[in-house]
Chain A
């Protein structure tokens, strides 16, 4: 039984491109299985964990919690909204970025490659600050921008956060899409052409759906990584759950309690994402390749 499981896992690992195994190594994509959960040593471990949790509740200060519960819930909402909007937008950008790298004319190809290299080669925190403090402080010098209808939005911090996170998701997922487009068997495309499909029809009906289908297994990991990146927007004054916790830390001068709660919140959010993806993966017939 174990050997079988092992070789199956090994087989799937060998076939995956390296980027995707690294994503799996960095983002939680599978919850620990509940099978055989109640082994004797686990009961002891759980007792120890229960003891630790009890100590944390008993000896640390939690009296601030009710006062900030509303703000925390709001912050979680902002974080999730950031995650959802940037993942969807980012994926929408990733499709053309992947496509032009496979089939586009060379200027577009070079542009897409350059974009991916730059975004993947620099820290997200720096990109965020470049957009907000750098680019954002240039805008008001142009009266045309200042008088335009966009200005009320450009004044805010969140558009810069959304932009930076979207670019980041697009660059990483764009690389995956490139592989997915390139990996669609030529025979399928040739068959579609033989049926007399036009180029557009071929793209919309065959190539894109097949490529997206191939990229789906990576989405789980990429989305968890994106969730792990969202707290960075707190550094440009967006009030997400991380910012709320920072505020609690500053007001109460507590070090560990708010941070432990924050870690717990992210742990639950990640688990929620993994469960949601598992649900959808079961709906869509995919193989893990």
Chain B
């Protein structure tokens, strides 16, 4: 009885604030609001599509969760998770020690190497020596930013940070950057576009450093949300086992995106 009164009071207050508090809450799956093909990007009808969206849908179906795709600015995606604007992050977020201090992760769901692309007219390698004196673009708040700052900046490269991968790619094509470092798959996808085909090519993958580049990509979760974490982990295992994962991955990639 006491609880009902409390609930009514709470509902009244929240109702006043113009907030809808639903009884059976759907799980809000946060994706970065900036397009990140082929993993997640909105199409012309405003619907989100891509490998990661299909992954999220498969997980939710498997775990019998009522999921809503919620785009959030990448820049503020972790605060959005901790302030409960979203309940999980499915945004190609690598599991790193630094992030684990603030949030929790599921087991990895994919892992790919990190590559560097540059203009066709120039030859250099994806090493600190090769990028000396070059301007290199990375997406802000990513493992690539950390890696570039750790290895390339001390060697004399200028690291320029972008809100979205897309803008970094665009500035490379526009000649404002000498190189872009990012996930090799996202870069390959860019090199397949008209813009990418004309200007740029892969200069190679960087030397791995698990302390910075992390142990693959996991679903970001709030600390202490163990119930959801268990559900997600079980679902990842299940879709890996029953072939669902491979089925939708084949539509996007001709190799095993899960990694070794």
Residues of A within 8 A of B (CB): 133, 136-137, 139-140, 146, 155-157, 235, 237, 246-247, 249-250, 253, 255
Shortest distance in angstroms between A24's beta carbon and chain B's nearest beta carbon?
30
A72 vs B174: C-alpha distance when bound (angstroms): 30
A156 vs B141: C-alpha distance when bound (angstroms): 21
User: Residue A139 contacts which of B76, B162, B174 (CB distance < 8 angstroms)?
Assistant: B174
A140-B175, A157-B176, A246-B140 provided; 13 other pairs, C-beta below 8 A? A136-B176, A137-B173, A137-B174, A140-B174, A140-B176, A237-B160, A246-B75, A250-B75, A250-B140, A253-B78, A253-B79, A253-B102, A255-B79
Q: Is B79 touching A133 in the complex (CB atoms < 8 A)?
A: no
Q: Which residues of B contact A237 (CB under 8 A)?
A: 160-162
Q: Is B170 touching A255 in the complex (CB atoms < 8 A)?
A: no
Q: Is A253 touching B101 in the complex (CB atoms < 8 A)?
A: yes
Main secondary structure of the interface of A (DSSP, over half): helix
- Contact mask B157-194 → A, CB, 8 Å, 1/0? 00011110001001101111000000000000000000
Across the two chains, which residue of chain B brings its CB closest to A156?
B176
- The verdict on A133 contacting B167 (CB below 8 Å), with A155-B175, A253-B99, A253-B102 known, is yes
Shortest distance in angstroms between A240's beta carbon and chain B's nearest beta carbon?
13
A235 vs B167: C-alpha distance when bound (angstroms): 11
A16 vs B230: C-alpha distance when bound (angstroms): 65
A268 vs B75: C-alpha distance when bound (angstroms): 26
In this assembly, does B125 line the interface, its C-beta being within 8 Å of a C-beta of chain A?
A: no
A148 vs B172: C-alpha distance when bound (angstroms): 19
Shortest distance in angstroms between A71's beta carbon and chain B's nearest beta carbon?
13
Shortest distance in angstroms between A254's beta carbon and chain B's nearest beta carbon?
8
Shortest distance in angstroms between B148's beta carbon and chain A's nearest beta carbon?
13
Q: Which residues of A contact B83 (CB under 8 A)?
A: 255
User: Residue B82 contacts which of A137, A139, A157, A255 (CB distance < 8 angstroms)?
Assistant: A255
Between A and B, 5 residue pairs with Cβ closer than 8 Å are A136-B176, A237-B161, A249-B76, A253-B79, A253-B101
Across the two chains, which residue of chain B brings its CB closest to A243?
B161
A253 vs B161: C-alpha distance when bound (angstroms): 17
Across the two chains, which residue of chain A brings its CB closest to B149?
A251
Q: Which residues of A contact B76 (CB under 8 A)?
A: 249
Shortest distance in angstroms between A81's beta carbon and chain B's nearest beta carbon?
19
Shortest distance in angstroms between A190's beta carbon and chain B's nearest beta carbon?
55
A156 vs B76: C-alpha distance when bound (angstroms): 26
